[in-house]
Structure 1
Amino acid sequence: MEKHILCNGDSKTHGRCTNLSEEIVTATEADLPRILEIYDIAKAYMRANGNPNQWNGAYPDPETLRTDIEKQRLYVYKKAGSIHGVFMLLLEEEPTYAYIEDGSWREETPYGTIHRLAGDGEVRGLFAKCVAFCESKVKYLRADTHFDNHTMQHLLEKNGFERRGIIYLKNGDPRIAYQK
């Protein structure tokens, strides 16, 4: 299992972490019940905040998450041993990014794609922590989000991502594309 210890601001002393209560690790099958709970919390938040059409039904579904766990590309954020966040980091080309409309990608060099990032609302700065982890893996990052997901748009832009255009999911649904 891959493990990444997080140090924030003054939690570093002489180059070492003094607060080891935060970490990002690859998800395991045992994490799946909590991961599904976090996605349910995120879905409820989206519905309550003007985003009723994203992540409908069972998506993200257990089968997709199990595939990501097997491929070791699903990660969980833990604080004091409890899971508070989840995301997928794809370190290969994202097929739906091959065509971009009303814009272009800034870099075509190898990139990582952040998908399905969600938290339980208990940890401030979760998005930035996950982005920092991803940046430790790959220089260029991409992401996309639903037009109604104003919270994610704000977080992406606040964390240095730029709108690059519109991409389309496999089912034809449009998404706002971002790159950092």
Structure 2
Amino acid sequence: MIEKAKLTDLSEIVAVIESARAYLKAQGIDQWQKSAYPAISDIRTDIENDVAYVLKVAGKVAAYGAVIAGFDPAYDLIQGAWRNDNHDYVTVHRMAVSTAFRGQALGQRFLTSVFETFSTYQDFRVDTHPDNQIMQHILTKLGFEKCGVVMFEGARWAYQKVLED
């Protein structure tokens, strides 16, 4: 189950982000390669804004994501169309899994925990790099639908999952 990140988790979270950055580079994916994003300041701001979440395995931070409830301006303009006009949804940004924990379906577990933690919401949105096939596979497996392209650190494929009552 995900839990709120604390400032004491910051160094472990940064290690997870750097591990994921190196993994993406090794896969030939330029996501997170051209800038310092996500930087330690982004993660610190997430923690201070109470939107930083971690998934721990044996007490170690294995996955991280910023989980934001409510309207996200980055998702206001989409080339394509969201499945609805709802402005009260949950967005996951900066999601990363440490390479030390790869192969344990932790990306899937992180997102499933988001659904459980934010169970009062029906609408979930995520974006990913067009070349990040692993994330696209996870999203499709969990029932997300590709809705179009948004601009968030470059062109990103936008996915949405709407839970039915």
TM-score when scaled to structure 1? 0.80
Residue 125 of structure 2, aligned match among 126, 142, 152: 142
Whole-angstrom CA distance in 1 between matches of 2:28 and 2:141: 20
1:178 to partner: Cα distance: 0.4
Indicate if the aligned counterparts of 1:26 and 1:74 stay in contact, CA closer than 8 A.
yes
Partner residue in 2 for 1:151: 134
Aligned residues: 154
Structure with bigger gyration radius: 1
| Pairing 1:164–2:158 present | no
Partner residue in 1 for 2:83: 106
For residues 79-94 of structure 1, the aligned pairs below 5 Å read 79-94=57-72
Whole-angstrom CA distance in 2 between matches of 1:133 and 1:151: 18
**AA aligned opposite 1:130:** F
Residue 73 of structure 1, aligned match among 51, 68, 71: 51
Residue 132 of structure 1, aligned match among 87, 108, 112: 112
**AA aligned opposite 2:106:** L
Indicate if the aligned counterparts of 1:91 and 1:113 stay in contact, CA closer than 8 A.
yes
- Identity over the aligned pairs, expressed in percent? 37
- Give the RMSD, CA atoms, in angstroms: 1.4
Whole-angstrom CA distance in 1 between matches of 2:136 and 2:142: 10
Partner residue in 1 for 2:160: 179
Higher relative contact order (CA 8 A, sep 6+): 2
Structure 1 outlier segments of 4+, above 6 Å: none
Unaligned runs of 5+ in 2: none
Whole-angstrom CA distance in 2 between matches of 1:108 and 1:65: 29
Indicate if the aligned counterparts of 1:76 and 1:86 stay in contact, CA closer than 8 A.
yes
Indicate if the aligned counterparts of 1:88 and 1:115 stay in contact, CA closer than 8 A.
yes
- 3-state SS of paired residue (2:56): strand
C-alpha deviations, 1:24-46, integer Å up to 9, x for none?
Answer: 21111111111111111101110
Whole-angstrom CA distance in 2 between matches of 1:80 and 1:118: 18
